[in-house]
Amino acid sequence: MTALKTHAARLLRSLAENRRPVVITQSGEPKGVLLDFESYEELREATLLLKIIARGEADVRAGRTATAEEVFRAARRRLPPR
């Protein structure tokens, strides 16, 4: 934590340049991870995608599925007439 407080600007510059996460320790124990913003966003998007996939797999296992024809028919009913 001391190095983080003392060298914050340099650490942020380094994160932006090399995009490697930095483990933050307190009394020698890992307490957090510092990421550049772009890496954080990529990690967040990947995590959300995995959650969506997991929900879909759960739906398939539970039998909550529909054919493409059923989905398109339902979508057409919701669209305003041309």
The pTM assigned to this predicted structure is 0.69
User: For position 1, what pLDDT does the model report?
Assistant: 62
Q: Tell me: do 43 and 22 sit in the same domain.
A: no
- Do residue 23 and residue 44 come from a single domain? no
Q: Are residues 29 and 45 in the same domain?
A: no
The 10s digit of each residue's pLDDT in 3-33 is 777 888 888 889 989 999 999 888 999 999 9
Q: How far apart are CA 77 and CA 81, in angstroms?
A: 9
Are residue 47 and residue 73 in the same domain, yes or no?
yes
Tokens of 57: 């797999």
Same-domain status, 47 and 74: yes
Q: Which residues are within 8 A (CB) of 39 and not within 5 positions of it... i.e. 6 or more apart?
A: 19, 21
**Phi (first) and psi of residue 29, to 5 degrees:** -105, 135
SS3 content of the chain, % helix, strand, coil (to 5): 65, 15, 25
Looking at the fold, whether 45 and 29 belong to one and the same domain comes out as no
Domain extent at residue 45 = 39-78
Please state the domain count of the chain: 2
Per residue in 63-78, pLDDT tens?
Answer: 999 999 999 999 999 9
